[in-house]
Chains A and B, each alone.
Chain A
Amino acid sequence: DSGVTQTPKHLITATGQRVTLRCSPRSGDLSVYWYQQSLDQGLQFLIQYYNGEERAKGNILERFSAQQFPDLHSELNLSSLELGDSALYFCASSVANGPAYEQYFGPGTRLTVT
Chain B
Amino acid sequence: QQQVKQSPQSLIVQKGGISIINCAYENTAFDYFPWYQQFPGKGPALLIAIRPDVSEKKEGRFTISFNKSAKQFSLHIMDSQPGDSATYFCAAEDQTGANNLFFGTGTRLTVIP
Contacts and interface: CB of A to CB of B under 8 A. Distances in A.
Interface of A: 2, 4, 31, 33, 42-45, 48, 55-56, 58, 90, 92, 94, 97-108
A100 B93 contact: yes
A101 B42 CA distance: 21
Q: How large is the interface on B (under 10, 10 to 19, 20 to 34, 35 or more residues)?
A: 20 to 34
A105 B100 contact: no
A85 B100 CA distance: 21
B43 interface: yes
A43 B41 contact: no
B100 A56 contact: yes
B2 to A, nearest CB: 8
Contacts of A92: 43
Contacts of A45: 100-103
B31 A99 contact: yes
Across the A-B interface, give the 4 residue pairs with the lowest CB-CB distance, nearest first: A105-B43, A56-B98, A43-B103, A45-B100
13 contacts: A2-B45, A4-B43, A31-B99, A43-B101, A45-B102, A45-B103, A48-B99, A55-B98, A55-B99, A99-B97, A102-B34, A105-B45, A107-B41
